[in-house]
Structure 1
Amino acid sequence: MMSTGVYTSIGDDNNGTNVSGTVPAVVSSADHVALKFKESNLQTFPPSSDSQGKIPVFRPPSDADDTFSKPVRGSYDEPQQSGWMHAFTVVAYKPYFDVDTADVLERIKDSLFPFRGTFADKTSDNPDLYGPFWICTTLVFVAAAIGTFVTYLAHKLQHKEWEYDINLVTWSAGLFYGYVTFVPLGLYIVLKYLSVPSGLVQLWCLFGYSLFVFIPAMCLFIVPVEIFRWVTVCAAGFMSATFVALNLRTHIVSSGERWFLIVAGIFLLQLTLAVVLKLYFFTITV
């Protein structure tokens, strides 16, 4: 649709040439309408006093840091529960498994040198349950396997019929897991009664690593010499008992004169464990 407007005719030009047609007349400058735009109320972000006439540049807030790009321990954990329900969550036990291979090997090496008595001091800030759990689990299967093999070998040497005893696995699991769980728990209750500062997890860690010496000892029980087996189990029991007693002594001395009775009782209890281990798993009757 053509818009209406003022048109003028084009007459003869200077050359005398007639040009037909019409063109829109030129509007004078006085007819222009000036358009004015209101100033925008949009606010630049972030606002600044000297941002007029400049392209605003985004800057992070002053309290921002780079922790978003860095993993923070515990940032991805489940929300922790308060009260006694916290003990039934996985988060409650994560700090006790926060060790690497070097830490576990170092603690195992310390358990093989019982006369140093520095294990409790080294693990006081970071006791773990990872090493004790796998030491006990290894003992369960090693005791059952070596005990079964020794019995099988004794029967075959005398050409007797042999039957496998599945109860060895059950009894070994009850012996080692029960000992490492309930003996430190009982000792913790006694020390609390005597107002001696001690930690339950630290006691579990100490008793768990004290049993490592029985793993190589039981591997030597394959030798079919009874006196050699008794010497081996007594040496392992003495090393384990000494390791526990010397590390406990530095913490129990503050309880007064009764500290000697407690240390002596734990020492004898470790020796009893070694004797029970020999009598039940490695006493061969054909």
Structure 2
Amino acid sequence: MSGNYSSLGSESVGGSVPVAAVADHVLPFQDSNLQTFPPSDNRGKVAGSFQPPRDADDTFSQPGQGGQGGGADTPQGWQSYFNVITYRPYFNVDTVDVLERIKDSLFPYKSDFVEKTSHNPDMYGPFWICSTLVFVTAALGNFAAYLAHKTSAGGGEAWHYDINKVTYAAIMFYGYVGVIPLGLYFLLKYLGVVSGLIQLWCLYGYSLFVFIPASFLSVVPWDIMRWVVVGVATLMSAAFLGLNIRSHIKTGSDRWFVIVMSAVALQLGLGLVMKLYFFTFFYHDTLKI
């Protein structure tokens, strides 16, 4: 079958593709005008371009770097207050930030919490501190009541837990952190003191952290021990709150002493209510249901 094929000669074939021209004229590429950006430092944080709602003064309520600018999708006007995206910058913290602020709340003598958090006050820590306190005080309060009942004279009788402690704890802690800073904010605004509502919520929220370990220590079945534990925790919390408010408003109002003492008194009252309702069990000795 090889005879059916003819070899291709070396003659030139018509219509062939011409040889490519020598690369004498190379078109140079123009320099790129693309802008390079440095790596972001918001590791572990929410990065966004949404402007939070103004709480009348931005000096002590600015969000972190993730909240700069105003995106095209950001709700404008009064509608922004009903959109979750608007409040996202106030949760722009990571674990390191929250732990650092918790540590600062345990050392009240520094009184620099307001300055350290002024660039990025958060609501993440206060929300979870209050939520933890609600369930911790309710659960441990019932458990401490059980231990007190078993060690009392009527320990052989049936014991019943109090589910209402959860409701009352939620009202007490959420209400305190929500309402007291709001009232203080309007008072400071009336006196012409520069302040921010988010900053005050942040300060009050972290001031309650010390009550969490105090709740665990208050389980011991000795009332004197409970008074000491809750008393020390209340003094630490009140000192942290009072010193930071003092350092913030001392130069802004000549009534700073009255304001600071009022805030400290309310914090002491909160600790007293916590001790008397959640960790005082003298009435359980004769309780019969």
Tell me whether the two structures share a fold, i.e. TM-score over 0.5: yes
CA contact (8 A) 2:105 2:209 kept: yes
Correspondences of 1:1-286 after superposition (within 5 Å) = 62=33, 64-65=34-35, 73-74=47-48, 79-157=73-151, 158-284=155-281, 285-286=283-284
Larger RCO, structures 1/2 (Cα 8 Å, 6+ apart) = 2
For these two proteins, the number of residue pairs brought into alignment is 233
State the secondary structure of the residue aligned to 1:115: helix
CA contact (8 A) 1:237 1:274 kept: yes
What does the per-residue CA deviation read over 1:160-206, in whole Å, with 9 as the maximum and x for residues that have no partner?
A: 21112111111101110110111000000000000000010000000
Query: Could you say what the CA RMSD is over the residues aligned between the two structures, in angstroms?
Result: 2.5
2:56 paired residue number: none
1:78 CA displacement: 7.4
CA contact (8 A) 1:78 1:91 kept: no
- Evaluate the alpha carbon distance shift between residue 194 and residue 60 of structure 1 in structure 2; reply closer, same or farther with a 3 A threshold: same
What amino acid is aligned across from residue 227 of structure 2 in structure 1?
Answer: W
CA contact (8 A) 1:196 1:251 kept: no
Gaps of 5+ in 2: 1-23, 51-70, 285-289
What amino acid is aligned across from residue 74 of structure 1 in structure 2?
Answer: G
Gaps of 5+ in 1: 1-52
TM-score normalised according to structure 2 size: 0.74
Which stretch shows the higher mean deviation, 244-253 or 75-84? 75-84
Taking the aligned partners of 1:246 and 1:75, their CA distance within structure 2 comes to 34
What amino acid is aligned across from residue 268 of structure 1 in structure 2?
Answer: A
CA contact (8 A) 1:120 1:247 kept: yes
State the secondary structure of the residue aligned to 1:162: coil
Taking the aligned partners of 1:224 and 1:75, their CA distance within structure 2 comes to 53
TM-score normalised according to structure 1 size: 0.75
CA contact (8 A) 2:191 2:253 kept: no
Query: Once superposed, which parts of structure 1, at least 4 consecutive aligned residues long, lie more than 3 Å away?
Result: 53-62, 64-67, 69-73, 75-78
- Evaluate the alpha carbon distance shift between residue 160 and residue 261 of structure 1 in structure 2; reply closer, same or farther with a 3 A threshold: same
Taking the aligned partners of 2:47 and 2:214, their CA distance within structure 1 comes to 40
What amino acid is aligned across from residue 152 of structure 1 in structure 2?
Answer: Y
Identity %: 56
Structure with max Cα Rg: 1
